[in-house]
Structure 1
Amino acid sequence: MSNGVTTAEAPFLEPKTQVRKRTFKLSWQTLLLALGGLVLLLSFTRTVTGAVDLTSAGAVNAAVALAVPIGLAGLGGLWSERAGVVNIGLEGMMIMGTWCGAWGALQFDNPWAGVVAGAIGGALGGLLHALATVTFGVDHIISGVAINILGLGVTQFLSKVTFAEMPGGGDSQSPPVPKPEVVSLPLVGEPLQWLGQKQWFLLSDVANILRGLVTNVSLLTILAILLVPLTYYVLWRTAFGLRLRSCGESPVAAESLGVNVYTYKYVAVVVSGALAGLGGAFLAQVAASAYREGQTSGRGFIGLAAMIFGNWRPGGLAAGAAMFGYTDALQLRRGGESVHALLLVVVVLLVGVAVYQLVRQNRTRAALVTGVAAIVVFVVFALTDTIPAEFTSVTPHITTLLVLSLAAQRLRPPAADGVPYRKGQGK
């Protein structure tokens, strides 16, 4: 086979597919089709409700900025779990990345030094997790929780001994840090703005979305987006990626073919930590202008949810991160009005899921439950004009729970994900 993959290794590309029939494949074509349908639905909802923020350039730009750290954490979880190591410690690694990212940028007066420092800080957390789980066989969940606690404690201590001594800093925050440069696509901003202001159905919405994607975009955002196709290429189109994934599917079989399972697991978990740390550096430098204690706000866990929603694939993961970032952006801008309008989108999506469950899956009971849920949401939408602020603040977390509950039927994690492995256990 090509790319250095031997014929003997080929059966371990996706071992479970030989036993379990895969009923649905989330391809790039499917994602693009779903994206087009979603834009059409948002345009319809914006026209009916008058909630312009649903497709405004500002909301889209904010959604991208909020989705990037979630996506980077999700990519970190993807690398780790594809090698068979559950990484609950992504939140702690992101916390380390926020502190290291701010410290590096201030120490060297260069934002990219902070980016590198943030990735190194997260990688150190990943190395510790790999040492505990791969070498010493510690339970993956226990090790991850310990790293979350350790990351929070270490950064609190380091802030008091470093940032508190700097002008403008304090015990729980850093002084303002240098930010990576922002860029805009030339010659298209003004025409897109003109078209967006017309409030035409679909055309104006597409123009506003495009303007939000191509104006005032941080270079670090572009780098993070490029990591998604790069991850896909490395893990699914190279011999290295095949061997790494074989460690998460059947490490005993991989070992029998000469794969050093420990080495691949170490590499995967360290890369996982580096990606999470990069997401933390993004929070400190782009999403905010300084390090602040608690600024990750559970994004490491939401990144894991995005990874699960994406069925342990980069494309689906990116879609999940974008969705979580979008709902977060709406509640931060005009929370009550925009989130209320989003209820109509939820109604249409629930109806579509119910029809799919009834027609394609022949699951009458599940379709009935989903249909009742759609009716309840529609009644809430019809009888109210806004959503209280107490509920809009938890919109991203509610979205996480709803998405995971609807996606649970098609999930297929790596077969040996979280399973302890000892060298030579297959002999």
Structure 2
Amino acid sequence: MVEVQPGGASGMTMPTAPRRRPLPGWAIFLLGVVAVVGVLATTSYLTDEPRLTSSSTMQNTVTLGLPILLAAIGGIWAERSGMINIGLEGMMVLGTWGAAWGGLQGGPWVAVLSGAVFGALGGVLHAIATVSFGVNHIVSGVAINLLGLGVAKYLSTLLFQPLSHNPRDSPPIEQFDTYSAPGLSDWLGELEAEQRVVISDVAGLVKGLVTKVSPMLLITILLVVATYVVLWHTRFGLRLRSCGENPVAAESLGVNVYFHKYVAVIASGAFAGLGGAALVLGSNPAIYSEGQTANRGFIGLAAMIFGNWRPGGALAGAGLFGYADGLRLSSGPGTVHSLLYAAVIAAGLLVVWQLFRRKWMTAALAAAGAVVVYVLYYVSDELPREFLPYTPHIITLVVLALAAQRLRPPAADGLPYRRGEGD
């Protein structure tokens, strides 16, 4: 490739280096998976903590990560249309109650549908307030969160207390049957039990994905793929995303901005409600319980931001936060403590990568962080048990802080819009 240099005395052309094509998203995702598995396998070997990569930990990760992922996908729908939706937590609360009520009426499939409908009702309220009446998105989201808690508590007292004699819990509902890959699951279990370096780690993680698989996992995977296809490969998705980038320009091209924003926010609520249904059906026993969401709607927002408002990134973020929560349940303070060692290894890899890119300041900061975390790991034997429930929240803050520099939200995200203002 040649390029004419303006102002050159001889008018000669100078060769320029060809631009390197960026890696496609799927390749980056696969490289990320390989890196994460490598870090966990190395940490498991060096700290003698096989539960870091055990099948039980992965099963807990899937169960606890599904509600976060569904909330994150809901956030993508809303914010790609320019609507901030911090009311995902309240919509998820409504979804948990709706799933329990629907499950009592007709089983797990009705629970899923009912959870989505109740979450969508929260989305309708948020859309009316913000799109039609121009209420500040944050104020409306906070109101939805408070309203969701209040409505769920009132309905639980009204309908569940006579059945369970407890206003905070519902009676148990029927759960989905689970399925395992015949033959493959047993073979992976044998490899995991042999405790071979890397091989057993990979076997344990894969076994957790193919053992006791719930239809809720398959539904979620299909919805993630459908979100990517609809938003990035259809005319409707292009118009919806244009509302989040420049609604005035979209309106000038004939796009019904109000309609697309309404659809996006209602779909956002439905996804959050499905997250609530996944939480109910994934618990043991399957019940609605007051405070069940434990701020997973907000963590879903964090996963969405970590994923740069894209489904694949949200999947990675939900997996990370679900893993932190799943590890806490399947092990004790000592195993969670070993995550500090994993953080040191990850920081070391980051230093090498930044040095390769000649980002000296970033490499120095990563090296300093690795030293601090290693000192904390070295001087302590385990983390206090009181610290464990907040592990996912702390990891959320750390990850968002590290990812902040590469984020690019929709240009008109959260900005007020009134029809005809571009005339």
Normalised TM-score (structure 1): 0.92
CA drift at 1:367: 3.1
Counterpart check, 1:377 vs 2:409: no
Report what 1:48 is aligned to: 46
CA distance in structure 1 between the aligned counterparts of 2:352 and 2:184, rounded to whole angstroms? 40
Q: In structure 1, what residue type is equivalent to 2:298?
A: F
Q: Give the C-alpha shift of residue 38 in structure 1.
A: 1.4
1:111 to 74, 89, 108: 108
* Cα distance change, pair 107–419 in 1 and its aligned pair in 2 (3 A): same
Q: What is aligned with 1:128?
A: 125
Equivalences for 1:105-184 in 2 at 5 Å? 105-108=103-106, 110-166=107-163, 168-184=164-180
Is the alpha carbon distance of 1:133 and 1:201 closer, same or farther for their aligned partners in structure 2, counting shifts above 3 Å?
A: same
- Identity rate, percent: 53
- Decide whether aligned partners of structure 1 residues 244 and 344 sit closer, same or farther in structure 2, where only a CA change above 3 A counts: same
The aligned counterpart of 2:399 is 403
1:2-151 → structure 2 map (5 Å cutoff) = 27-108=25-106, 110-151=107-148
Tell me the distance in 2 between the aligned counterparts of 1:393 and 1:52.
Answer: 21
Listed one character per residue, the Cα deviations across residues 125-171 of structure 1 (whole Å, up to 9, x for unaligned) are 001000000000000000000000000001100001100011x3511
1:337 paired residue among 334, 341, 352: 334
Q: In 1, are the aligned partners of 2:82 and 2:410 still within 8 Å (CA)?
A: yes
Aligned partners of 1:357 and 1:194: how far apart in 2? 39
Q: Which moved more, 1:300-309 or 1:387-396?
A: 387-396
Give me the whole-angstrom Cα distance separating, in 1, the residues matched to 2:22 and 2:83: 25
SS of the aligned residue for 1:276 comes to helix
The whole-number CA distance in structure 1 between the counterparts of 2:335 and 2:393 is 16
Distance 1:354 1:199 in 2: 30
One-letter amino acid of the counterpart of residue 111, structure 1: P
> Match for residue 190 of structure 1?
186
1:318 to 300, 315, 319: 315
- Indicate conservation of the 8 Å contact 2:60/2:330, yes or no: no
**TM-score of the superposed pair, with normalisation by structure 2:** 0.93
Supply the RMSD in Å over aligned alpha carbons: 1.4
Is the 1:169–1:175 Cα contact (8 Å) retained in structure 2?
no
Give the superposition deviation at 1:362: 2.6
CA contact (8 A) 1:24 1:410 kept: no
1:12 maps to what in 2? none
Q: Does 1:283 align with 2:279?
A: yes
- Whether contact under 8 Å (1:66, 1:287) holds in the other structure is no
Give the Å deviation of 1:383: 2.4
**What does 1:202-241 align with in structure 2 at a 5 Å threshold?**
202-241=198-237
Equivalent residue number for residue 3 of structure 2: none
CA contact (8 A) 2:80 2:244 kept: yes
Aligned with residue 259 of structure 2, among 259, 263, 276: 263
1:253 to 249, 261, 264: 249
Aligned residue type for 1:277: G
Greater C-alpha radius of gyration: 2
Could you give the per-residue CA deviations for residues 187-232 of structure 1, whole angstroms, max 9, x where no partner exists? 2111111111000011111111111000101111211122111110
Counterparts of 2:354 and 2:412, CA distance in 1 = 30
2 CA distance for matches of 1:355 and 1:250?
A: 39
In the TM superposition, 1:272-311 aligns within 5 A as 272-288=268-284, 289-311=286-308
Aligned residue pair count:
402
Rounded Cα–Cα distance in structure 2 between residues aligned with 1:138 and 1:25 = 41
Q: Aligned-pair distance for 1:363?
A: 4.7
Unmatched segments (≥5 aa) in structure 1? 1-22
- Whether 1:328 aligns to 2:304 is no
